[in-house]
Amino acid sequence: MINRRHIRVKVMQSIYAMQQSHSDDLVKEEKFLKHSIQKMYDLYVLNLQLLVEVQKLARKRIELSKKKILATKEELNPNTKFIDNKLLNLLNESVSLEGYVELNKLNYWDLDDEYIKILLDELQKSDMYAKYMDTVEDSFNVDRAFVIDFFREIVAPNEKLADYFEDKMISWIDDIPFVNTWILKTLNKQKANKPFILGSLYKDSDDQKFVADLFNKTMLNQHKYEEDIKEKTPNWEADRIADIDMIIIKMAITEFLHFASIPSRVSINEYIEVAKDYSTNKSGYFINGVLDKLAKDYLASNKMVKIGRGLL
């Protein structure tokens, strides 16, 4: 499921795109933001389905080899450890995975099956594959560990696949690292003899509501924050502050003033981490200093009121 940090990133990207395009249509931009997050879930499903398709291709190749007129002994009696992989079979048999693919018409691998071939070829040439196929132990844990290694070492780093995803949807290039981690966690949590069921995109309704609230409240109140920011950055003209840094500061102020249950220190730490990934090397220090001063002033003037978890 998507976490709060990635929600913040998606909101930040939407605000930045809206500013760059000089759009003022909040309704349209909010719809696009939610669409972008939903498409990230599609990317998650496509990667899981890709693992299934690689196994299917391996099975198909084995069946074709058996039908050769001059089939070798090895081709007639192949090692079926990979096509019998217990975790991949659970994915293949998953009603929820198959249902989501069909419902959302995610027929990417039917149309672009060359990526399946690329991954299977790379896998079968690897030492990892040879070691796995020679493993005597037949257990779910061994099968799961192999699939995790396959995804982590071959699928996730594949540049051709990353380029393909970027061509399909530009926002996916930023989503790939998060989705890869999400998939590894999913595979690691899967239990033997338990059907694979797709998890939810959001942890709960609060996280889903957080998307729209953070976006809209930041956009509607951002001009009110500029004087406060100016007071805390006397040596900086507004146009000297990086666009992303300014957006991050405004989003954090929104959390200070409009999200009573989120501790101010949590907001500060989260946006420092976002800045490390999406802004300059020194942005984290700058943002930390500005937000720390603002939080103290808002608290002293009672503009920032926290309740429940927000008090921690």
pTM of the model: 0.89
- How large is the average pLDDT for residues 276-286? 87
Tokens of 140: 């779910």
Beta-bridge mates of residue 202: 2
Residue 207 has pLDDT above 70, yes or no: yes
Q: List, for residues 9-45, the tens digit of each pLDDT value.
A: 999 999 999 999 999 899 999 999 999 999 999 999 9
Q: How many helices (H) and strands (E) does the chain have?
A: 15, 0
The predicted model gives 238-263 an average pLDDT of 90
Looking at residue 154, what DSSP letter applies? Answer: I
What is the structure's pLDDT at 232? 87
Using 50, 70 and 90 to split pLDDT, how confident is the model at 66?
Answer: confident
Please state, in angstroms and rounded to a whole number, the distance separating the CA atoms of residues 150 and 139. 17
pLDDT above 90 for 236: no
293 in Cβ contact with 232 (< 8 Å): yes
Identity at 14, one-letter amino acid code: S
Q: What DSSP string runs through 250-284?
A: HHHHHHHHH-TTS-HHHHHHHHHHHHHHHS-TTHH
| Burial class for 189, CB neighbours closer than 10 Å (0-12, 13-18, 19+) | exposed
Report the pLDDT value the prediction gives residue 297, as an integer from 0 to 100.
95
Q: What is residue 312's predicted lDDT score, i.e. its pLDDT? A: 67
For the chain, what is the mean pLDDT? Answer: 93
Query: What span, in angstroms and rounded, lies between the C-alpha atoms of 113 and 184?
Result: 23
Q: What is the pLDDT of residue 74?
A: 79
State the angle between helix axes of 243-258 and 205-232 in degrees (0 to 180), rounded to the nearest 10.
110
Grade residue 188 by pLDDT with cuts at 50, 70 and 90: very high
Tokens of 106: 């995610």
SS3 content of the chain, % helix, strand, coil (to 5): 75, 0, 25
- SS3 state of residue 105: coil
Q: Could you count the other beta carbons within 10 Å of the beta carbon of residue 229?
A: 20
pLDDT (0 to 100) of residue 237: 60
- Look at the block and give the residue holding tokens 């530009």: 170
Range from 190-194, 213-217, 236-240, 250-254 carrying the lowest mean pLDDT: 236-240
Q: Which of 61-75, 113-127, 189-203, 261-275 has the lowest mean pLDDT?
A: 61-75
| % of the chain at pLDDT higher than 90 | 82
